[in-house]
Amino acid sequence: MTKPLEGIKIIDFTHVQAGPACTQLLAWYGADVIKVERPGAGDVTRSQLRDIPDADALYFTMLNSNKRSLTLDTKTAEGKEVLERLIKESDVLVENFGPGALDRMGFSWDRIKELNPGMIVASVKGFSDGHHYQDLKVYENVAQCAGGAASTTGFWDGPPTVSAAALGDSNTGMHLAIGILTALMARTKTGKGQKVAVSMQDSVLNLCRVKLRDQQRLDRVGYLEEYPQYPHGKFSDVVPRGGNAGGGGQPGWVLKCKGWETDPNAYIYFTIQGHAWAPICKALGREEWIDDPAYNTALARQDKIFDIFAIIEDWLKDKTKFRGGRHPAQVRHPVRAGAVDEGDRQRPVAARQRHGGGGRPQAARQVPDGRQPDQVLRHDGGGHRLPAARRAHRRGAGPTRLQQGPDRRHAPGQGGLRRTAAALP
């Protein structure tokens, strides 16, 4: 089974997280991604947040597996010549430089089209072209604020709150990957390349669409019935922060369960969906609520929702898991091994790789195996390649040395690492 992007070559001029998250995803699906790095230093995340001395940081390795690495100084004539050759034989160039950087390098869109009419140039920017902030640099949390996510996250009596999930960075990378794949499909019809641009602000804003929905509803009726402030609180002219409210037609909240006194994640997100109301009432011993008009609609319950949640929380005090309407609801820590569900362990979602220094195993994201026809973009798990190590990256003689990370098969217990290096064609 071949991977869907085999035969596609990508020049990866990105660094830190948004761009590398995009190109790593494309590499998982078979694209040959050549990561272009600064001579002598490489991607800044090779040393950022390092926990093993003189080894590439986890920040770098988690985002750059399955790529090859090229040291290239585009300020030199030799470096420009190498880049021209790469452009002629590649399909996609991905960059997250500041505005105008490619032009200053001598590789404007017109020049790239001249070298390769089928080239797709994909860019990550903080703000879209033409925006009055287009010249500003943007980072993860800035994007969450500029895109509106922070303004509606947190509790109503507190400040805006940014999410620990990478809504600004990795989310932007996923949007960019979709744009690149669409452009590749368009090229099969037209034979022509095109520019793809994604801004971090717009990517965050796209994930806030339900809040845009709420803003329009608020403008029309002056209140939001599913928010905890209704009906006793006051609404201004902007969507308020809603705490742990579900933000939809099903009231929900985070409630304590067994062990909360010592376990910071011993909580359950409990959702009261309409079709589950009768089973919930029976479980709570409140069957009289099932047909009571003061309780049997979501709007009726909203007036007394926290009283209902207090009763549910008391019922949960000796329980560690709840499946209401077959929806798992427990709060889980994203990284602690002890918090991984047995169902997660049975899915091949993580490959283990040796770190370039210290010999410590570390987690590396792998697209799950599987060949079921109803599962989209499953990948055959044929092999996992580590990022090119910094020592290999530095060893390159001049700007034309291409380093490829070691190979390691997914199956547990198989052999060590095999180093390979490929010279630039």
Give 87-101 pLDDT, tens digit per residue.
Answer: 999 999 999 887 788
3-state helix, strand, coil in the chain (%, to 5): 35, 15, 50
* 222 vs 72: which has the higher pLDDT: 222
CA distances from 60 to 16, 65, 68, 133, 396 (A): 8, 9, 13, 28, 19
Percent of the chain scoring above 70 in pLDDT: 74
Query: Which residue among the candidates 56, 91, 169, 202 is catalytic per the annotation?
Result: 169
Q: 142: which DSSP letter?
A: H
- In this predicted structure, what is the pLDDT of residue 398? 42
- In this predicted structure, what is the pLDDT of residue 184? 96
Q: pLDDT band for position 46 (50/70/90)?
A: confident
- Give yes or no for residue 144 having a pLDDT over 80: yes
Nearest partner of 371 among 360, 379, 361, judged by Cα: 379
What amino acid is encoded at 170 in this protein?
Answer: S
Query: Cβ contacts of residue 70 below 8 Å, gap of 6+?
Result: 34, 35, 36, 37, 396, 399, 401, 402, 403, 424
Extended beta strands in 26-166, E state: 32-37, 67-71, 92-95, 120-125
Compute the distance between CA of residue 134 and CA of residue 373 in angstroms, rounded to an integer. Answer: 43
Compute the distance between CA of residue 205 and CA of residue 147 in angstroms, rounded to an integer. Answer: 5
Question: Over the stretch 344-403, which tens digit does the pLDDT of each residue have?
Answer: 445 444 444 445 544 444 443 333 333 332 222 323 334 455 666 654 443 333 444 445
For the purposes of burial, counting CB atoms within 10 Å of the CB of 70, is it exposed (0-12), middle (13-18) or buried (19 or more)?
buried
- In this predicted structure, what is the pLDDT of residue 27? 92
Q: What is the mean pLDDT of the chain?
A: 76
- In this predicted structure, what is the pLDDT of residue 337? 43
- Give yes or no for residue 40 having a pLDDT over 90: no
- In this predicted structure, what is the pLDDT of residue 131? 81
- In this predicted structure, what is the pLDDT of residue 367? 34
- Give yes or no for residue 111 having a pLDDT over 80: yes
Q: pLDDT band for position 168 (50/70/90)?
A: confident
Q: What is the pTM of this model?
A: 0.76
Q: pLDDT band for position 74 (50/70/90)?
A: confident
Is 202 one of the annotated active-site residues of the chain? Answer: no
Bridge-based pairing of strands 361-365 and 384-385 is: unpaired
